Amino acid sequence: MFVDRSGVERIDTADYNWRKALGVRDQRFVDHVVCNVYGGRSGAGLAKFGGVGGDGGDVYLVADANKKMSDLQPSARGGGGSWSVLKLKGEDGVSSQKRSIKGERGQDLTVKVPLGTSVCDMKGKPLIDLDREGDMVQVARGGEGGSPKNEFKSSKGSFGSFKLYLRLIADVGLVGFPNAGKSTLLSRISEAKPSITAFPFTTLHPNVGHVRYGDLRQISVADTPGLIEGASENIGLGHRFLKHVERTKMLAYVADVEGFQLNQTSPRRSGYETLLLLIKELELYDSTLLYKPAVLLLNKVENKESESKADHIMQSLQQAHVPDSIKQYEPFPFPEFKTILKISAKEKLGLERVTEVFREELDKVALEDEAGGPIMTHEAKKERLAFDLTHGLVS
């Protein structure tokens, strides 16, 4: 299942079909869990002796860097093959007794969740994010112990249903079409070991690697499954994993200068067409992603012919040219790429400069954050306002 941008839950048929075609076993990357949470029931009071019942236990979620969302996944399956709902409950309080006038309070239940967990309502609306180690939120309160205030009666704890979504937190998010070379790039510049083959959709779940520098600084880089033309309509792997780049500080667009063709019945797209389609798919998912600081990595530049294709892409970008073949997919606006690099991840060409650029651009982002955001010219502000109005981001 997945929740689309309007908050409607849908069956992720594309994900299932691709897994079936690739013969992948059902060892899915778990990035969300549905849970019902119950505060513990309180103990009853003892009116004859003025005894007070113990409160029910509360339920808390706390962020822990060592936890995975799969640790929370119930092992039993519910009806229709869907995963059962995780039940979390605080301990019940103890009733007041003759020999123990004050009933013992029920123990709280504290559940560890991964960093980057977003607690959402059942429609997918975010309520709170647990991004830092030790971040905690109470999701259920235990019932109040029986006392004169409530006629010494036992009371139920609060109840709620929530969806816990994992959104990876990384400095840089790699985005691109299948076989653009994202996984190869990640494996070359970090310690990550993602699956790499010449077949589309070998990356079936996000991978995060860390780039380490000589002064011990580290930068985290996230690689997500490749998008394809029509991903906004849930073709291919759809938009399921794009939420993992929402929290990145910058995006690195990885484009294969040779272009992309999904299969023999699909149109062959040039490297430039593929790049524009990628930008359009990001816009259709969440147009605010186009606001993020971005760099462009033109991959598989290994000879004069491929270098000529890279030059053509750069010239076309400068002119904001949109080929007639994809005119209906014209993105707006074109991202402002801070840097454009020609690289070959496979041949390890230009990768040292890639890591330098990641660091330089992230340093700029940090300075802008300290200054209260990026400094924009009057013309840039006008363009952004026009974009916001066009996309309904402001009224």
Confidence of residue 203 (pLDDT cuts 50, 70, 90): very low
Q: Which element (helix H / strand E) includes 273?
A: helix 271-285
- The token pair at 100 is 């123990």
Mean pLDDT of 171-188: 90
Confidence of residue 230 (pLDDT cuts 50, 70, 90): low
- Taking all residues of the chain, what is their mean pLDDT, rounded to a whole number? 81
Q: What pairs with residue 77 in β-bridges?
A: 83
User: Residue 229: its pLDDT value, please?
Assistant: 58
Between residues 15 and 54, which one has the greater pLDDT?
54
Can you tell me whether residue 385 is helix, strand or coil? Answer: helix
User: Residue 350: its pLDDT value, please?
Assistant: 96
User: Residue 164: its pLDDT value, please?
Assistant: 92
Amino acid (one-letter) located at 126: P
Q: How many CB atoms lie within 10 A of CB 338?
A: 15
Are 133 and 120 in contact by the 8 Å Cβ rule? The answer is: no
Are 29 and 205 in contact by the 8 Å Cβ rule? The answer is: yes
User: Residue 37: its pLDDT value, please?
Assistant: 96
Question: Is pLDDT above 50 for 247?
Answer: yes
Alpha-carbon distances of 24 from 28, 29, 177, 203, rounded to whole Å: 9, 12, 20, 11
User: Residue 271: its pLDDT value, please?
Assistant: 95
Q: Record the pTM.
A: 0.68
The model's pLDDT over 51-73, given as tens digits with 9 standing for 90+, comes to 999 999 999 999 998 888 888 87
Amino acid (one-letter) located at 355: T
Q: What is the distance between the alpha carbons of residues 135 and 114, in angstroms, rounded to a whole number?
A: 10
The model's pLDDT over 216-225, given as tens digits with 9 standing for 90+, comes to 899 999 887 7
Confidence of residue 385 (pLDDT cuts 50, 70, 90): low
Between residues 6 and 270, which one has the greater pLDDT?
270
Residues with Cβ within 8 Å of 37's Cβ and at least 6 positions away in sequence, in order, are: 59, 88, 89, 139, 140, 159, 160, 161, 162
Instruction: Name the residue with tokens 């209260």.
Output: 372
Helical axes 304-319 vs 271-285, angle rounded to 10°: 50
Q: What is the distance between the alpha carbons of residues 53 and 73, in angstroms, rounded to a whole number?
A: 34
User: Residue 200: its pLDDT value, please?
Assistant: 42
Of the ranges 26-30, 86-90, 237-241, which one carries the lowest mean pLDDT score?
Answer: 26-30
Mean pLDDT of 339-364: 95
Confidence of residue 84 (pLDDT cuts 50, 70, 90): low
Question: Is pLDDT above 90 for 390?
Answer: no
Return the closest-CA partner of residue 314 out of 355, 253, 357, 360.
253
